Amino acid sequence: MHAATDKTLCVVLGSGGHTAEMARLLQGVEFDRYTRRLYIVGEDDALSLDQIAAVEVRSSVYSGEYFVERVPRSREVGQSWASTPLSVARCLARTARVLLYHRPDVVLCNGPGNCVVVCVVALVPRILGLKRIPIIYVETFARVRTLSLSGKLLYPLADRFIVQWPQLLDRYPRAEYIPNLV
């Protein structure tokens, strides 16, 4: 395991735009504070591996280590809703093993489908009274008027819910508006 002073940041990456936005968000993270980083990516997501390498090269002045864990996608784009429960169950089981092993101190995500499963699993230790793992959700820059499906599902669960457009505050008053994050 790791020393009590180490902090583990769990970052959920999706493919494409979510990963590009997260890579820009990570430029503002204090890697000397989070000496362990856990990146959760989809099984078939090669793009995120390149982005992780680039982020970690930039942060190489800090001590620490990082891990990449692959999990099945909770739902493929265009997948039928009838087959979704099975894929969610596979993602849930693998994600539970990953979080149990790495024991993150905080989860940072920005909307890929797998982030909902990761956040639900991260809530279990809190519900059981074992450990509080704060969840920070940053809604994607592309969502100007309404939240994404992930955002709608995680709005009531996230400890911090950040939006990048002020008009979203009217409909989601618990959200924090932080402009120009990405």
Q: Beta-strand (E) ranges in the chain?
A: 8-12, 36-42, 65-71, 106-109, 135-138, 160-163, 176-177
Report the interhelical angle of 46-58 vs 17-25 (nearest 10°): 10
Residue 6: count other Cβ atoms within 10 Å of its Cβ: 14
Q: Give the whole-angstrom CA distance, residue 139 versus residue 38.
A: 20
Question: What is the pTM assigned to this prediction?
Answer: 0.90
pLDDT tens digit sequence for 92-140: 999 999 999 999 999 999 987 789 999 999 999 999 999 999 999 999 8
What's the whole-number mean pLDDT along residues 26-44?
A: 88
Q: Give the whole-angstrom CA distance, residue 72 versus residue 181.
A: 28
pLDDT of residue 67: 95
DSSP string, 97-111: HHHHHH--SEEEE-S
Tell me, what DSSP letter sits at residue 59?
A: T
pLDDT of residue 17: 77
